[in-house]
Amino acid sequence: MNEPTTALEEWRRYWPTVLAAMVGMSFYTVLTYSLSTFIGPLEAEFGWSRTALSSGLTVFAGISMLGGPFIGMAVDKFGTRKLGIIGMVLAGLAFAAFSLLNGSIVQWIALYVIYGIFALAIKSTVWSAGISSVFTHARSLALAVVLSGSALGQTLAPLAANKLINAFGWREAYIWLGLGWAGVALVLLIPFYFDAHARKAREAPGSEQKPAIILPGLTIKEATRDSRVIRIALANLLMASVGSGVSVHLVRIVSETGISMDTAVEIAATAGLAGLIGKLGVGWLLDRVQGSLIPFSGFAIGAFGHFLLIGLIGGATPLLIGAMCIGFASGAGLQISTYLISRYAGLRNFGAIFGTISSMMMAGTALGPMFAGAVHDLTGSYDILEMIAAPVMLLCATLFVGLGPYPEFTRPEQD
């Protein structure tokens, strides 16, 4: 089959794969974004503290951090179709298993360990690698749509969990969310989700040994010495470290400037919408404009947002703009980095390379909220946090300056 020669042709041929991957990506976020809705019922039934309830997400983040490079190598070797489908089945069952909680914290942590291991096969590395393998001309926008699945989960998971808990109770809510959401994803993944490995295999259905497909790009050793890859990785580590802390504490950061709690919640909610705009807007632009302007601007906007949240300018409007800038930068930052790694490192070992970068981001995500809380405990405010975050984000932006033109990789010999 001839390869598409334009972005429009790619979308006409591969849009079902993008849709399936987006829904798959959305389920990966359900456990995180539904927890706040389950906290009340679990507290009431078992008497658990907020610290104990939050400990599961720390375990989940740790597993994602440690397992990222390994799942990336599996993606490079086996492709993403089988991993995504099997992972969705197991993760859905593991999510539903939370309905069996009996009040034991050990069981709570054990379920997070089990879910965390299975969920490695449905994290962003998997879907990003699969989409990058079939899209060239419209790759950035396709990645943006897929990664927007996280915003879909962030928006719908609390609403769905709340309705299910009110209608059936928290145990049944875990079952419906786990089997229902994962089931919808599987209905789309099985008939529609085919990455380059799977498409190559379908072209030779009668052969005894399915042909291996080796995509062009850097080896892992070459990537570890490539200054462009290192700069992108460092920018993501720094962004995650300051950004996660601010995001988790955003409502409190805004409310402690004198804004009412209700208004603070509304202001913080705009960050999610701005993040979606950042993903899609930057995704569309990166397919059309090469250079440092878009990557630099995407991160620099975050620096401006952190400056506004210091509260030097009175009123709710600067805080609203600041929250939206931070949300935009968060969405745009992941989109920028995923796309640029696919261009500067290529696709040969995209899973392992981006999986490692993703693990670095998870490390920052795990440490950031604790650092933000420590700053507040020591100083009584978040001002120093924002004073640190603003220049750090500006440093992240400068790391994207002068990366140079995208390299042209030659496809290695097929076995």
Share of the chain above pLDDT 90, in %: 47
Give the Cα separation of 206 and 280 in Å (integer).
40
Residue keyed to tokens 């907020």: 50
Domains of the chain, CATH where assigned: 14-203 (1.20.1250.20), 220-398 (1.20.1250.20)
User: The tokens of 114 are what?
Assistant: 């089990």
User: The tokens of 40 are what?
Assistant: 């009340």
Tell me the pLDDT of the chain averaged across its residues. 87
Q: Residue 322 pLDDT > 70, yes or no?
A: yes
Share of the chain above pLDDT 70, in %: 95
CB-neighbour burial class of residue 304 (10 A; exposed 0-12, middle 13-18, buried 19+): middle
Higher pLDDT, 162 or 19: 19
Task: State pLDDT tens for residues 197-235.
Answer: 888 877 665 554 555 566 788 988 999 999 999 999 999
Residue keyed to tokens 């409502």: 251
Burial 246-268 (b: 16+ CB within 10 A, else e): bbbbbbebbbbbebeeeebebbb
Higher pLDDT, 138 or 373: 138
Q: What per-residue confidence (pLDDT) applies to 212?
A: 54
Task: State pLDDT tens for residues 49-93.
Answer: 867 877 787 788 889 888 988 998 999 888 899 999 999 999 999
Q: Is the pTM of this model over 0.85?
A: no
Task: State pLDDT tens for residues 236-275.
Answer: 999 988 887 787 677 778 888 888 877 877 787 777 788 8
Q: How far is CA 328 from CA 258, 299, 338, 385, in A?
A: 24, 9, 16, 19
Q: What per-residue confidence (pLDDT) applies to 338?
A: 87
Give the Cα separation of 137 and 7 in Å (integer).
5
User: The tokens of 244 are what?
Assistant: 């996660």
For residue 195, the SS3 value is coil
Higher pLDDT, 285 or 37: 285
How much is the average pLDDT of 299-313?
90
415 band by pLDDT with thresholds 50, 70 and 90: very low
Q: What per-residue confidence (pLDDT) applies to 298?
A: 92
DSSP code string of 140-162: HHHHHHHHTHHHHHHHHHHHHHH
CA 360 to chain centre: 13
